[in-house]
């Protein structure tokens, strides 16, 4: 196996997701190749440093309690693993924590009163809900709630998707088990290959289920994409 191919597979190797035959080939290569071995050692060193940084953040008492609990549990469980697997798991923990901080900071910039209600795994994947139907994909990115509003960020992607001229043709139906929600504000941003939406609705209590149903959006070739319904928790 060539060095470029080996290095492109190192993370999968660290996570233990490669077939045994490929794992054995990488291990044999690392024993013989100084460059790839140094790359692996560098990744291990980064993992150790990030692990220590996470511990210090938790010990300072400024880390949110629920995040601290997850980090501590993750770090404890990694003690029983090999160095390679431990490094990979630490990197995953750091990615989750970094996403927590970035999303929370984004919410504060948009509205100081908004509070993000996503757990670390949902922040890490970057989506509460993702579904594709007949070439159209709906992704619920995040939900943020304040005393005055709930903001839902989502994207819609589809080959040949046309942005309707009228805002009313873009508005989804949004409801909770208590009934339909009033959503007075919808911001639309046409991006490359996707349309991003920011929908402001009346406030929804934390933990309550939200259902969002897209309208049938037009295709460039004629006709419309089918409607998609997303159900997620605030």
Please answer whether residues 30 and 21 qualify as being in contact, where contact means their C-beta atoms are separated by less than 8 angstroms: no
CATH 2.60.40.1220 location in the chain: 120-233
Vertex 33: Cα angle to 1 and 4 (nearest 5): 45
pLDDT the model gives residue 77: 53
pLDDT the model gives residue 39: 79
Indicate yes or no: pTM above 0.75: no
Please answer whether residues 211 and 228 qualify as being in contact, where contact means their C-beta atoms are separated by less than 8 angstroms: no
pLDDT the model gives residue 141: 85
Closest CA to 205 of 172, 173, 185, 178: 178
pLDDT the model gives residue 200: 93
For the chain, the distance separating the N- and C-terminal CA atoms, rounded to the nearest angstrom, is 47
pLDDT the model gives residue 190: 79
Q: How far apart are CA 45 and CA 42, in angstroms?
A: 5
Give me the CATH topology for the region 120-233: Immunoglobulin-like (2.60.40)
Map tokens 């289920």 to a residue: 209
Q: Which parts of the chain sit beneath pLDDT 70?
A: 1, 14-16, 43-128, 192-193
Q: How far apart are CA 87 and CA 130, in angstroms?
A: 29
């Amino acid at each position: 196996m060539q060095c470029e191919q080996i290095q492109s597979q190192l993370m999968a190797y660290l996570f233990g997701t490669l077939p045994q035959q490929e794992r054995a080939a990488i291990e044999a290569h690392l024993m013989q190749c100084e460059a790839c071995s140094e790359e692996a050692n560098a990744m291990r060193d980064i993992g150790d440093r990030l692990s220590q940084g996470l511990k210090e953040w938790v010990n300072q008492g400024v880390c949110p309690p629920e995040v601290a609990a997850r980090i501590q549990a993750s770090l404890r469980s990694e003690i029983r693993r090999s160095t390679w697997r431990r490094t990979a798991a630490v990197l995953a923990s750091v990615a989750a924590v970094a996403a927590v901080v970035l999303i929370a900071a984004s919410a504060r910039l948009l509205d100081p009163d908004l509070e993000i209600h996503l757990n670390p795994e949902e922040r890490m994947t970057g989506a509460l809900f993702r579904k594709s139907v007949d070439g159209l994909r709906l992704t619920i990115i995040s939900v943020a709630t304040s005393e005055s509003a709930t903001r839902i960020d989502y994207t819609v992607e589809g080959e040949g998707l046309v942005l309707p001229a009228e805002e009313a043709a873009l508005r989804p139906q949004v409801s909770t088990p208590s009934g339909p929600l009033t959503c007075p504000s919808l911001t639309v941003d046409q991006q490359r290959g996707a349309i991003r939406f920011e929908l402001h609705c009346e406030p929804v209590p934390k933990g309550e289920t939200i259902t969002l149903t897209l309208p049938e959006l037009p295709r460039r070739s004629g006709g419309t994409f089918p409607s998609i319904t997303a159900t997620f928790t605030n």
